Amino acid sequence: MTPFETFSNLLRADAPVLSLAPMQDVTTLAFMRVIARYGGPDVYWTEFFRVHDVSRPEKWILDSITKNPTGKPVIAQMIGNDIPALIRTAKELQHYPVAAIDLNLGCPAPIVYRKCAGGGLLREPQRIDAILGALRDAVKIPFTVKTRIGFESPAEFDALLKIFAKHPIDLLTVHARTVTQMYRPGVRYDLIAQAARELKCPVFANGNVFSAAQAQQLLAETGARGLMIGRGAIRNPWLFDQIRAQLRGEKIKLPTGRDVLNYIRELWENEITPGVKELSQVQRMKKFMNFIGEGVPSPEKFLHEIRRVETIANFFRICEEFLDNEELMELEPKNLQPQIFTDETQI
């Protein structure tokens, strides 16, 4: 079966589809490999391919498609606004074993939206209309869109939905925040429910899913066909299996501190490139720790110490101090106001 047949079957089946959100500099081939060992999602997204007049698909992102070690379908995401370049790239990406081509309409980084790409396109619905029309013609496999609910105001969502309804897209993922809201609280799950009611295509719900109980409630509340999970899965790679257990009515297994420590060791073993400076390797691990740290006991103290380390020996000394124990970990952030990311990406 081709990846897009597998993906189409997932969308047609009854079970809610669980997916890992695209995350630049996080959802690499190495991270996919680690997440898959913990059960993993049903489908993966690549980080976005930057598309402009002279762009070529980035080699390291192509690796997550050609060397996909998960046995699950992977969807290639593009960001950009140049229609001929998007068509050219979409055609090229279809030569790879991808399950779908996805368009990013959500990236909130000012460097991206000022160029009217990602979330910036939400200010120009007519342009989205033209891009979707052109890409729908060019993409012969499933074509999907990932959007936020507006640029400045959720009131923009009605007009956007009309455009999404006009083009026969195969899936809409809704991150239920506006672009200017970045990652601040106030996720509008009611608008995901509206999209699921009004659109013919399946809808995935995205935004702030950190526990299995919350995932189950969100599926019921919104009628979404599936969930897309980002930061919650970095923090808790067990989350996808926990959600599956919750939906079957089984008891959720919580990892111990030592399990989390082993997960960090596994990330280290997979993420680290031999020959790279120790400090750069420590910085790479800190990227993951910003998320994982929010879920461990005494997150402020843990993160305060981990952010200051410069050697890998000290990095693991602190991890062991906080995590080498049999305590059960819920891994939900204690403070449900997630960090605000301003550096999601560079294009």
Residues that bind ligand FMN (CB under 6 A): 21-24, 26, 47-48, 77, 104, 106-107, 146, 175, 206-209, 229-232, 341, 344-345
Whichever of 105 and 161 has its CB closer to ligand FMN, that residue is 105
DSSP-based three-state secondary structure for 302 = helix
The minimum distance between CB 77 and ligand FMN, in angstroms, equals 6
Whichever of 70 and 236 has its CB closer to ligand FMN, that residue is 236
The minimum distance between CB 149 and ligand FMN, in angstroms, equals 12
Whichever of 209 and 303 has its CB closer to ligand FMN, that residue is 209
Cα gap 162→171, rounded to integer Å: 15
Whichever of 263 and 316 has its CB closer to ligand FMN, that residue is 263
Residue with nearest beta carbon to ligand FMN: 230
Helix 157-166 with 189-198: angle, nearest 10 deg: 30
The minimum distance between CB 145 and ligand FMN, in angstroms, equals 10
DSSP per-residue letters across 181-196: TTT-S---HHHHHHHH
The minimum distance between CB 42 and ligand FMN, in angstroms, equals 16
Q: Is the CA virtual torsion 95, 101, 103, 107 positive or negative?
A: negative
Whichever of 79 and 161 has its CB closer to ligand FMN, that residue is 79
DSSP per-residue letters across 3-66: HHHHHHHHHHSSSPEEEEPP-TTTS-HHHHHHHHHTT--SEEEEEEEE--TT----HHHHHHHH
**Residues with catalytic roles:** 107
The minimum distance between CB 79 and ligand FMN, in angstroms, equals 7
Beta carbons of 40 and 10 less than 8 angstroms apart: no
Cα gap 304→280, rounded to integer Å: 19
Q: Which residue has the tokens 């990846």?
A: 3
Cα gap 296→319, rounded to integer Å: 10
